[in-house]
C-alpha cells in the first residue's frame, strides 16, 4: 500500500511538479525523494496541513507554504514561495574571503543585529565590530539592532553603545521591552484605563511609559519582600489590571508570582512575555533567561504567554511595521540559532550566524541540525578584516 502511494507520488511529481519548480529545486527534488524512506513519504502524502509537512520534510529545509493532498493525487498543490535557499539545502556557506564578503554584502540593504554575542560579550566589544558597522554605514546599509534583553530601554541601550564607542540612535534599536509596548499600543490597542502588571526591570517600565501605558509592579520596592500570612487573603485579581507582562526580573519572588497568577486566572487578562529565552548568556556563562520568570506562571495558570521577542512572529511584525524593509534584501545577524537565526528564517530574511556567542560551528554542521543559517563566519569583524 505504501509502495503504491510512493510510486503514484513519484510519477506525479516527475510529470507535473518538477517542471514547475525553480531550476535549483528541480535538481533537488529527486534527492529529496531519495533520502526519505517510504514511511516518511507516505506521511507527507497523508498530511493535511503545512505544519505536518514542515515536520516531515524539515530535514531538508524544504518548506512549502501550502501542500494540500486530496484523495485524488492530481490535486496536489505545492507553493514554493517560502522554500529555503539553495545554500541551506547544501549546507551553510562559510564566508572566509574578500570575494565572499563582497558577494554577501551585495545581497542585502538592511541588517538586523543581535547584540550580545555578536557586537560584544558582556561589556567587552568584539574585535573590529566598530570598523565593520562603520563600513556598512559607508556603503549605505541600514543598521537595526534587535535585542531580547528587556532589562534596558532603547535609551539605556544607546548609552551602552556609546560607552563601547559605537554611535547609534534610539530609533535604530528595537528591544523586546519596546516590542511589548508597541504590541500593546498598536496591535492590542490596550485600554487607557487599564494597567499592566510588570514582572521585570526598568527597561520595560520606560518603554511602557514612552507609549503612555500605565503599569504597576516592576521595580516597585514594596514588592521586593517575602510573602506574609495576610497576603494569602489580600492577593486577589485587580480589575484595573488588563495584562501581565513578564520579562527578565532580577528580583522575582513568590509574592510577585502570586499576584501575577491571581490576575491570570481572569481569562480576559492578557498574558505577554518580552521573550521566552531559556538562558541569558553573559560574561561567558549562562544565567536563567526571561523564560524562566514566566515558566512558573505557565505551569500554574496553564496559559501560554504571547512572546514579543525573537523568534516570535509578533516581534517580526512590529519590526517590519516600523522599518518597512524588504525581507529578501534584509539579513538577520545572530549568535543563537533558536532565537536569532530562527527569527530571520521565519521572517523570510537572509541569515548570518557568528561563532562568538551561544552556538558553535558543530551545531550547524551536525547532520540533525534543526536550524541552519544561510551564511556564517567566525566573527562579525571578519567583514572588515577580509576587506582590508
Ligand atoms: Mg546573542
pLDDT at 51: 34
Return the beta strands (E) in 323-385 as ranges: 330-334, 350-354, 375-377
| CA 136 – CA 123 distance, rounded (Å) | 23
The b-or-e profile of 27-44 (16+ CB within 10 A means b, else e) is ebbeebbeebeeeebbbb
pLDDT at 5: 53
pLDDT at 367: 83
Q: Which long-range contacts (CB under 8 A, 24 or more apart) does 348-353 make?
A: 348/82, 349/112, 350/85, 350/107, 350/108, 350/374, 350/375, 351/375, 352/95, 352/104, 352/376, 352/377, 353/92, 353/377
| CA 216 – CA 279 distance, rounded (Å) | 26
**Span 292-300, mean pLDDT?**
98
Residues 6+ apart with CB under 8 A from 34: none
**What confidence tier does 271 reach under pLDDT thresholds 50, 70, 90?**
very high
Catalytic residue set = 109
**N residues, the chain:** 388
pLDDT at 101: 97
Name the more confident of 165 and 7: 165
pLDDT at 186: 86
| CA 328 – CA 332 distance, rounded (Å) | 11
The alpha carbon of 222 and the centre of ligand 1 are apart by a number of angstroms equal to 33
| CA 36 – CA 56 distance, rounded (Å) | 9
The alpha carbon of 356 and the centre of ligand 1 are apart by a number of angstroms equal to 9
The alpha carbon of 336 and the centre of ligand 1 are apart by a number of angstroms equal to 6
pLDDT tens track for 10-37:
555 544 444 444 333 333 333 333 223 2
Name the more confident of 46 and 314: 314
Residues 6+ apart with CB under 8 A from 347: 313, 316, 320, 327, 332
The alpha carbon of 207 and the centre of ligand 1 are apart by a number of angstroms equal to 21
pLDDT at 192 over 90: yes
HSE toward the beta carbon, residue 278, CA cutoff 13 A: 5
Distances (CA, A) of 305 to 120, 237, 269, 272: 29, 18, 11, 5
pLDDT at 156 over 50: yes
The alpha carbon of 187 and the centre of ligand 1 are apart by a number of angstroms equal to 27
Given a contact cutoff of 8 angstroms between Cβ atoms, the answer to whether 203 and 247 are in contact is yes
pLDDT tens track for 82-116:
333 433 445 688 999 999 999 999 999 999 999 98
pLDDT at 321: 83
The alpha carbon of 76 and the centre of ligand 1 are apart by a number of angstroms equal to 41
Lowest-pLDDT choice from 204-208, 214-218, 266-270, 284-288: 284-288
pLDDT at 205 over 50: yes
pLDDT at 181 over 80: yes
The alpha carbon of 380 and the centre of ligand 1 are apart by a number of angstroms equal to 12
Residue that is written with C-alpha cell 552556538 in the block: 359
Amino acid at each position: 500500500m505504501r509502495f503504491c502511494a510512493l510510486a503514484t507520488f513519484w510519477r506525479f511529481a516527475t510529470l507535473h511538479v518538477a517542471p514547475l519548480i525553480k531550476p535549483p529545486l528541480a535538481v533537488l527534488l529527486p534527492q529529496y525523494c531519495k533520502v526519505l524512506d517510504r514511511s516518511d513519504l507516505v506521511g507527507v502524502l497523508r498530511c493535511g496541513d503545512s505544519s505536518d509537512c514542515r515536520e516531515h520534510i524539515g530535514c531538508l529545509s524544504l518548506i512549502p507554504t501550502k501542500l494540500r493532498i486530496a484523495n485524488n493525487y492530481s490535486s496536489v498543490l505545492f507553493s514554493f514561495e517560502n522554500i529555503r535557499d539553495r545554500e541551506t539545502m547544501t549546507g551553510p556557506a562559510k564566508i572566509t574571503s574578500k570575494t565572499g564578503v563582497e558577494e554577501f554584502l551585495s545581497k542585502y540593504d538592511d541588517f538586523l543585529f543581535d547584540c550580545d554575542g555578536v557586537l560584544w560579550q558582556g561589556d567587552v566589544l568584539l574585535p573590529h565590530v566598530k570598523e565593520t558597522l562603520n563600513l556598512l554605514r559607508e556603503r549605505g546599509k541600514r543598521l537595526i539592532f534587535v535585542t531580547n534583553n528587556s532589562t534596558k530601554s532603547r535609551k539605556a541601550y544607546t548609552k551602552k553603545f556609546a560607552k563601547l564607542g559605537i554611535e547609534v540612535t534610539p530609533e535604530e534599536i528595537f528591544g523586546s521591552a519596546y516590542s511589548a509596548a508597541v504590541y500593546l499600543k498598536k496591535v492590542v490597542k490596550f485600554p487607557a484605563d487599564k494597567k499592566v502588571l510588570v514582572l521585570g526591570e526598568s527597561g520595560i517600565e520606560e518603554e511602557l511609559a514612552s507609549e503612555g501605558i500605565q503599569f504597576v509592579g516592576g521595580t516597585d520596592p514594596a514588592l521586593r519582600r517575602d510573602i506574609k500570612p495576610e497576603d494569602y487573603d489580600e492577593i486577589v485579581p485587580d480589575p484595573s489590571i488588563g495584562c501581565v507582562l513578564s520579562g527578565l526580573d532580577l528580583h522575582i519572588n513568590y509574592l510577585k508570582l502570586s499576584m501575577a497568577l491571581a490576575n491570570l486566572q481572569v481569562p480576559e487578562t492578557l498574558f505577554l512575555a518580552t521573550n521566552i529565552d531559556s538562558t541569558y548568556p553573559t560574561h561567558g556563562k549562562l544565567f536563567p533567561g526571561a523564560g524562566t520568570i514566566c515558566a512558573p506562571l505557565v505551569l500554574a495558570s496553564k496559559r501560554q504567554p504571547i512572546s514579543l521577542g525573537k523568534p516570535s512572529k509578533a516581534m517580526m511584525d512590529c519590526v517590519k511595521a516600523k522599518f518597512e524593509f524588504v525581507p529578501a534584501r534584509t539579513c538577520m545577524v545572530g549568535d543563537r540559532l533558536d532565537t536569532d537565526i530562527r527569527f530571520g528564517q521565519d521572517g523570510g530574511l537572509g541569515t548570518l550566524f557568528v561563532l562568538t556567542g551561544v552556538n558553535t560551528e558543530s551545531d550547524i554542521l551536525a547532520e540533525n541540525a534543526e536550524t541552519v543559517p544561510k551564511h556564517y563566519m567566525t566573527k562579525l569583524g571578519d567583514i572588515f578584516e577580509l576587506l582590508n
